[in-house]
Amino acid sequence: MSLAFTATRGNSRSFYTLATLLAIFTVVGLLCFITSYIRGHQVLGSSNVIPWGIPIVVAIYLIGLSAGSLILSSMTYVLGREEYRPISRIAVFLAIVLVFGAMVAIAVDLGRPEKTWRLFIFFVLNNMRSMFAINGILYGGYFVISLLYLGFIFAEKSKWTKMMGTLAIFWAALVHMGTGAIFGFVAARPIFYSPIKPFEFLAAAMASGLALLILVVVSVFRFTNRTLNKEMIFFLSRLLLALILVLFTMVFVDKLTHLYPPHREATIWLLTGPYSWVFWGIQVGCAYLLPILVLIHPRYGKTIKGVIGAAFFVVVGIFGERFALVIPGTAHPLPFYPGKIEGIWGAAGSFPLTPIETLMCLGIFALMGLFFIAGLKHLDLLPVDENEGQTPVKAKEG
């Protein structure tokens, strides 16, 4: 099956309206970042007790989406499933845009963002025992590999594409497992500390990446009046169901291992404390239960609307999963000494959502949306369609 690809025209009024809107949000985000850079992190929600805030939540979320999206593009280019060819280019491009957004999110959360390069001076001045430094290699390599991968796809060199695709899958899996290791290897934080974290992150990455891909593909194809192979979407929804079940099992085992030994105070606090609504409502409810119920439903699971709904729940729910890991993971007070620690040192931290932090993160999403619609306009990402009355594209920024 040979397939020609093309760019969208991107010259209608709504395209430019969307681009302007995204540009405005990007500029607002940039201004917020400059404010936080000049005035310090006092304008953000993070504190000494919760050092990592929303930008880190966004960063690991985007890395997960990116890795999942890239792994799924391999179905065409490595496993040779031709029926997914129409969406594979867009999957690789999406992965690049998302990992770029993730790097921006990490950079804006650093106290000294002008020293971001220090994360990427492989081996020279880096402490290679640090998971962060190892992830510097992984992220840098990932960016280069996926760019080359997309380049080979555009050049239509199928042998090179297959080789690069194989490398890209392994690298993407490694990238997200490395991100999980940043959390899983920290012994001081009981909610983080778990050998299963890298695998849990990988499962979450694939589930959320697939869900986002379904959302993006369906909405882009719909807004450009392209015909979509429904069977393909239904197969992807089965895959999504399987991935959610794997993820659910991993999270269940992870929490169970944390609850079983007597050292269970922090996890009980997560499940019943002030952040329990994020865990039960968004993570368990939105990311696992609702999509599973929708996808196994005999009627809704067989409609495009049902699949889109499930994918949307997963995309939102996995954000909740990241939030429920990063913020409560550090908020629970450390047991310095046996007994009840009085005063602020024994109190759980609270995380205020500040407008600057929120707008900064929205700016990152808007920046990615800009890159995405620019890519749709200037790169041949979408299959040529016989309905030539193509209307502009709506970007889906997750």
Partner 1 sequence: MPRWGMVIDLDKCVGCQACTVACKAENNVPHGSPEEQGLRREIYWNKVIAVTNGKYPRVNTQLIPMPCMHCDHAPCVTVCPAKATYRRKDGIIVQDFRRCIGCKYCMVACPYGARSFNSKEQDEKEYYRHDLAPDRSVWGQWPFPSRTHGVVEKCTFCFHRIDRGMKEGKKIGKEVVPACVEDCPSNARIFGDLDDPDSELSHLLSSREWFRLREELDTKAKVYYLPK
Residue 201 contacts residue 177 (beta carbons within 8 Å) = yes
Q: What is the DSSP string of 72-84?
A: HHHHHHTT--GGG
The smaller minimum CB distance to partner 1, of residues 89 and 332, is found at 332
The smaller minimum CB distance to partner 1, of residues 4 and 187, is found at 187
Residue 164 contacts residue 156 (beta carbons within 8 Å) = no
Work out whether 345 is an interface residue with partner 1 (CB under 8 A): yes
Instruction: Tell me the CA distances in angstroms from 254 to 191, 197, 341, one per residue in order.
Output: 9, 8, 28
The smaller minimum CB distance to partner 1, of residues 283 and 330, is found at 330
| Two tokens, residue 362 | 């929205």
Q: How far is the CB of 239 from partner 1 (least distance, A)?
A: 34
The smaller minimum CB distance to partner 1, of residues 144 and 344, is found at 344
- Within 7-46, the residues that bind partner 1 by CB under 8 A are 37, 39-42, 44, 46
Residue 58 contacts residue 364 (beta carbons within 8 Å) = yes
- Within 262-301, the residues that bind partner 1 by CB under 8 A are none
Q: How far is the CB of 354 from partner 1 (least distance, A)?
A: 11
- Within 319-338, the residues that bind partner 1 by CB under 8 A are 330, 334-338
Residue 371 contacts residue 395 (beta carbons within 8 Å) = no
| Two tokens, residue 179 | 């991100």
Q: How far is the CB of 37 from partner 1 (least distance, A)?
A: 8
Work out whether 344 is an interface residue with partner 1 (CB under 8 A): yes
DSSP 110: S
Tallying the residues shown for the chain, one arrives at: 398
Work out whether 339 is an interface residue with partner 1 (CB under 8 A): yes
Work out whether 48 is an interface residue with partner 1 (CB under 8 A): yes
**Torsion on CA atoms 84, 88, 89, 91, rounded to nearest 10:** 140
Instruction: Tell me the CA distances in angstroms from 188 to 119, 264, 330, 360, one per residue in order.
Output: 23, 13, 9, 30
Question: Which residues have a Cβ under 8 Å from the Cβ of 329 and sit 6 or more positions away?
Answer: 183, 189, 191, 192, 270
Q: How far is the CB of 44 from partner 1 (least distance, A)?
A: 8
x/- map, 172-201, partner 1, by CB under 8 A: ----------x---xxxx--x---------
Q: What is the DSSP string of 212-250?
A: HHHHHHHHHHHHTT----HHHHHHHHHHHHHHHHHHHHH
Q: How far is the CB of 106 from partner 1 (least distance, A)?
A: 8
Residue 108, φ and ψ in degrees, nearest 5: -75, -15
Q: How far is the CB of 250 from partner 1 (least distance, A)?
A: 22
Q: How far is the CB of 126 from partner 1 (least distance, A)?
A: 6
- Within 119-158, the residues that bind partner 1 by CB under 8 A are 119, 125-127, 129-133, 136
| Interacting residue with partner 1 among 196, 346, 362, 379 (CB under 8 A) | 346
| Interacting residue with partner 1 among 31, 239, 341, 362 (CB under 8 A) | 341
Instruction: Point out which residues bind partner 1 (CB under 8 A).
Output: 37, 39-42, 44, 46-52, 109-113, 115-116, 118-119, 125-127, 129-133, 136, 182, 186-189, 192, 330, 334-346, 349, 352
